[in-house]
Amino acid sequence: MPATSDSRVFDDLVSQNPKARKILAEGDSWFAYPRQFIIAGPAANIVDQLARRKNLVIYSTASNGDEAVAILSGEQKFALLKKLRHTHFDYLLFSGGGNDIVGRYDFDFLIRPKPAGGGWMDCIP
């Protein structure tokens, strides 16, 4: 069964398979990385892999580039709490951290660019 981000599709999938475990997947690209050919091609992320199992129905609100701090604050936090309050899920899968540490502006203080002819030790401040 495919993962969905549409609550009506999720409800339909649950009604078609009432014994399936219900999963809410929230997170970053580990859960939302696209398939190689969008519709076809091998499963590209963890949620795609799990969605192949017939005993699971997955509601995914994951988004590439999402940061944990954004997911757990403001509008996204409110939306997550609302989903958890109004729908029974057997599992909550949460993925976050990659972009929080190695985002475009996040890693600079941990590592320096490698100088020409330098070694890995030259990259550590």
> For 86-108, what is each residue's pLDDT tens digit?
999 999 999 887 666 666 666 66
C-alpha distance from residue 27 to each of 37, 77, 118 (Å): 22, 12, 37
Specify the pLDDT at position 109.
Answer: 66
pTM of the model: 0.72
Distance from C-alpha of 111 to C-alpha of 9, rounded to nearest angstrom: 45
Specify the pLDDT at position 96.
Answer: 82
Centre a 10 Å sphere on the Cβ of residue 32 and count the other Cβ atoms it contains. Answer: 23
C-alpha distance from residue 55 to each of 17, 21, 62 (Å): 8, 6, 21
Specify the pLDDT at position 52.
Answer: 86
∠ CA 89-71-107, nearest 5°, is: 135
Specify the pLDDT at position 35.
Answer: 67
pLDDT at 80 over 80: yes
pLDDT tens digit string along 26-72? 988 778 777 666 666 666 788 888 988 989 999 999 888 888 888 88
**What average pLDDT does this structure show over 10-21?**
93
